[in-house]
Structure 1
Amino acid sequence: MKLIAKYNRVNIAATVLVLLVSGLGYYFILKSVLIHQLDKDLKIEQQEIKDYVKTNNSLPEASNYKDLKISFTPSAEVIEKASIKSISMYNDAEEEMIPSRQLSFSILVKENNYKVSITKSQQETEDMVELIVKITLAIVVLLLLVLFIINRFVLNKLWHPFNDTLQKLQQFNLSNRKHMELSGSDINEFTQLNTAVTSMSNRVIKDYDALKSFTENASHEIQTPLAVVNSKLELLMQSENFTETQMQYIQSIQGEVNRLSKLNQSLLLLTKIDNQQFTGKEAVSLAKIISNQLSNYEELVAAKHITLTKNIDDAVLVYMNETMAAVLVTNLITNAIKHNIEKGSIDITLNEQQLQISNTGQPLNTDPQQLFERFKKDKVQSESLGLGLSIVKKICEQYNFTATYHYAGNQHIVTILFTGS
């Protein structure tokens, strides 16, 4: 949910709640005030009746008006204190019961006690309260409408610099080394945000360039002495002055040098993929690349007596960098051969939806979910660098492919789904 939408919901919900509570409170307070005023009118009528009896020593005439009714009833009960209560009174004109307030008290006239009832209609009070409530509701609705319009348009404009900064952050790409140019704002917080983002992006680009330069230079510098060491070892191995044990030491050193060279090349490749240095896309025939790679490994496949089964659609084209496609296929095929068993099998399936390579092999001794991480490998295969599937995953992420692994029926199965192609 967007921040502006969240803010609007909270703001409008809080406004509705406050107006609802205050409106109910306002309604009851207003009604109480009007009823209190009605009770004062009843007491005024009471005082007028008492003054009339005191002056004339007789009761005034009973009355029955539209909204006022006064009645006198002889009673043996003396009401010590006047009481007021709410009742329903029948209205002849409207032919219905209407809410009313009634004041009852006792009065003595010529030694005769009378119960006096003064009843006054609350209809006007109710009508006034209803009118005020309607006006209040109309004001509330108008206020909510105004708030919605302000939040919808004015605040959207207010948040435009933030949205612009967010959009440029999402589009920020280290590989093009383009510095961020953010819109100005007269709001201090947004100005501070833009300053911090600009400073951060400049530092990131600077650090990225330094790290990229160091990685490339270090890789090339390391590769040169490794090649020299390897060539010198080959010359030493041609000498006849070494014992068998010394020759084994030299062969072991050469093996480690070769392994270090492969590790250096793999890490450099991962760095280049991370740096998005393989950006071009074209229609690549995976079938052709698979065929070329299999021909390169014919002797190794034959040496391990591996049975190769292919179910390849030659018409399948995948849009990606051709070098990356070759690296992807090479790593998968190399992995399938290296981790296979004697007289095992390799099955390769290629169609428009996926590339799947499965090979026979012993069950893993490690968590299959970790195979695509760097330097994660099966403990049994200690000669592996643990980078092959990591490179495969990086390539898949760059082209929105999905790489999965599972083990079933003595088969290690790696599947590449072309979801983003």
Structure 2
Amino acid sequence: MKLLNKITVWFIGVIFLVTPITMVISRNNIKKHLDKAEEQRMRAVNDHVYEQLLTGVKLDHYTHGRPIEVSLFQGPMPAERVQTVKEVARNEDLAQNECRISVTSYYQVGKQIYKVSSYNYVLKSEEIFAGMLSTVVWKMLLIILCVGLTARLLSRIILEPFYRGLKIIKHFDVKRSDQKLQLAHTTTTEFKELNDFIESMAQKARADYAAIKEFSENASHELQTPLAVVRSKLDLLSQTSIDDKQAQLIGDMQASIERLSHINRSLVLLTKLENHEYATSESIKFCAITKRVISTYEDWVKMKEIDISTNLDKNIVLNIHPALAEILLSNLFSNAIRYNLEGGKIKVELNKYNFIISNTGNPPELPTAELFRRFKKGNQSGESTGLGLAIVKQICTVNDFSVTYNYEDGWHQVKVVFGLPEAKPAAEKLCPVPGTKLAVS
């Protein structure tokens, strides 16, 4: 929910919470003031009757048709000369209960005490509340409408610099050194502080990116040079007169150097993937690359007498860098062969929704989820650098794919989902791989 909508909802919620309370308070105040005004009016009426009693004027003319009663009071003068009574009385004319206020006053006229009583019917609390309710409902609807329209209008004025800045940030590319992040000007203090912070962080991010990129490139270059020198020296040394033990040591050193060179290239590749240096808008045929990678590993497959079965759909077009697609498939195939059994099996499936490669092999010694972490591997192969699946994971991440690894019933399965719901591939659209056994499932 947008910030503006949240503020609007909170404001309307406060209105709904406060309005009933204010209605009760208003009703009580209105009722109190109406009763007090009516009580004062009846006191004034009683006082007027007393004045007529003092002057000896006949009361018939004034009291006729008025709810006033005048009578002699037997007994001493009450301590409270004005008495007010509020009660619910039955109005026979209207056949309903009404709220009645009676005011009784006692006056001394000569040696006689007169009792003057007047009464009147006033509005009940329920009637006042009912009258207020309809007014409040319309008032709240009008407030909600005004708040909604005003909030939308203010958002275009007050939040307009924020939306413009957000649009600029979305198009900011840390890899472009020629692009300067220039946010929209605003007079709002909070937005000014936010823009200053974002601009400084963008400059720092660009500087950090440039430093990391320069370091990775320099490290790769500087490491490859001494490795090439050591490799050439070992080649020269192997051509001299050496015994079997020395030859074995030289072979071990050459293998270690190749392994170190492979680790260096893999780490540089991971760094480039994390820095999104393989962005592309190019669409490629994934089926063709899959066939090419499978044919690349034919000799290794024959050496281990592995049986490969494929089920590949035609015309699988994906938006991925060609180099990344080949690295992804090469790492998956090399793992499937390296960790396979002698005379084992490999199954390859490809459709427009996912790519699945399965191979027989010994159970993994680590949880399968941890195998995607760097330098995590089982003990089945000492030749592995432990970076293959980490590279696969990173390639899937930068291309919005998802990858999972499962082991069940002696089969290792790596599944790459291209971000769409799964569906069973059509059997009539198959892309066989030359030189391999085709199994249609």
**TM over 0.5: same fold?**
yes
Q: Give the match for residue 357 of structure 1.
A: 357
The higher relative CO (CA closer than 8 Å, separation ≥ 6) is in 2
Q: For residue 48 of structure 1, give the secondary structure of its aligned residue in structure 2.
A: helix
Query: Is the alpha carbon distance of 1:410 and 1:115 closer, same or farther for their aligned partners in structure 2, counting shifts above 3 Å?
Result: farther
Q: For residue 305 of structure 1, give the secondary structure of its aligned residue in structure 2.
A: coil
C-alpha separation between the residues in 2 aligned to 1:413 and 1:407?
A: 6
Which amino acid is 1:151 matched to? A
Which amino acid is 1:249 matched to? L
Q: Give the match for residue 330 of structure 1.
A: 330
Cα distance per residue 1:97-146 (max 9 Å; x no partner): 54331224667899998865421121499988877776676555544433
Whether the 8 Å contact between 1:39 and 1:84 is mirrored in structure 2 is: no
| Deviates further, 230-239 or 258-267 | 230-239
Q: Give the match for residue 4 of structure 1.
A: 4
Cα distance per residue 1:234-264 (max 9 Å; x no partner): 22223223451x3333222222211110011
C-alpha separation between the residues in 2 aligned to 1:310 and 1:130?
A: 79
Q: Give the match for residue 388 of structure 2.
A: 388
Q: For residue 405 of structure 1, give the secondary structure of its aligned residue in structure 2.
A: strand
Query: Is the alpha carbon distance of 1:64 and 1:407 closer, same or farther for their aligned partners in structure 2, counting shifts above 3 Å?
Result: farther
C-alpha separation between the residues in 1 aligned to 2:321 and 2:156?
A: 41
Query: Is the alpha carbon distance of 1:140 and 1:402 closer, same or farther for their aligned partners in structure 2, counting shifts above 3 Å?
Result: closer
Shift of 1:191: 1.6
Q: Give the match for residue 225 of structure 2.
A: 224
C-alpha separation between the residues in 2 aligned to 1:142 and 1:287?
A: 63
| Deviates further, 313-322 or 354-363 | 313-322
Q: Give the match for residue 169 of structure 2.
A: 169
Which amino acid is 1:234 matched to? D
C-alpha separation between the residues in 2 aligned to 1:63 and 1:282?
A: 103
Which amino acid is 2:216 matched to? T
Shift of 1:233: 1.5
C-alpha separation between the residues in 2 aligned to 1:129 and 1:55?
A: 45
1:71 alignment partner, one of 62, 69, 72 = 69
Q: Give the match for residue 195 of structure 1.
A: 196
C-alpha separation between the residues in 2 aligned to 1:187 and 1:201?
A: 21
TM-score for the superposition, normalised by structure 1: 0.86
C-alpha separation between the residues in 1 aligned to 2:363 and 2:71?
A: 107
Q: For residue 176 of structure 1, give the secondary structure of its aligned residue in structure 2.
A: coil
C-alpha separation between the residues in 1 aligned to 2:281 and 2:304?
A: 36
C-alpha separation between the residues in 2 aligned to 1:420 and 1:398?
A: 16
C-alpha separation between the residues in 2 aligned to 1:310 and 1:134?
A: 75
Q: Give the match for residue 238 of structure 1.
A: 239
Whether the 8 Å contact between 2:102 and 2:117 is mirrored in structure 1 is: yes
Whether the 8 Å contact between 2:347 and 2:358 is mirrored in structure 1 is: yes
Q: Give the match for residue 158 of structure 2.
A: 158
Q: For residue 412 of structure 2, give the secondary structure of its aligned residue in structure 1.
A: strand
Whether the 8 Å contact between 2:287 and 2:314 is mirrored in structure 1 is: yes
Which amino acid is 2:282 matched to? E
Instruction: List runs of 5+ in structure 1 lacking aligned partners.
Output: none
Whether the 8 Å contact between 1:57 and 1:109 is mirrored in structure 2 is: no
| Deviates further, 187-196 or 405-414 | 187-196
C-alpha separation between the residues in 2 aligned to 1:413 and 1:368?
A: 10
Which amino acid is 1:346 matched to? I
C-alpha separation between the residues in 1 aligned to 2:54 and 2:329?
A: 118
Q: For residue 42 of structure 2, give the secondary structure of its aligned residue in structure 1.
A: helix
Query: Is the alpha carbon distance of 1:136 and 1:2 closer, same or farther for their aligned partners in structure 2, counting shifts above 3 Å?
Result: closer
Alignment of 1:262-277 (within 5 A): 262-277=262-277
Q: For residue 377 of structure 1, give the secondary structure of its aligned residue in structure 2.
A: coil
Aligned length: 417
C-alpha separation between the residues in 1 aligned to 2:353 and 2:135?
A: 65
C-alpha separation between the residues in 1 aligned to 2:361 and 2:127?
A: 90
Which amino acid is 1:230 matched to? R
C-alpha separation between the residues in 2 aligned to 1:319 and 1:132?
A: 65
Shift of 1:51: 4.2
Which amino acid is 1:388 matched to? G
Identity %: 30
Shift of 1:96: 5.3
Q: Give the match for residue 184 of structure 1.
A: 185
C-alpha separation between the residues in 2 aligned to 1:277 and 1:370?
A: 26
Instruction: List runs of 5+ in structure 2 lacking aligned partners.
Output: 422-441
C-alpha separation between the residues in 2 aligned to 1:382 and 1:39?
A: 104
Q: For residue 227 of structure 2, give the secondary structure of its aligned residue in structure 1.
A: helix
Q: Give the match for residue 205 of structure 1.
A: 206
C-alpha separation between the residues in 1 aligned to 2:240 and 2:48?
A: 140
Which amino acid is 1:267 matched to? L
Query: Is the alpha carbon distance of 1:123 and 1:351 closer, same or farther for their aligned partners in structure 2, counting shifts above 3 Å?
Result: closer
C-alpha separation between the residues in 2 aligned to 1:308 and 1:282?
A: 30
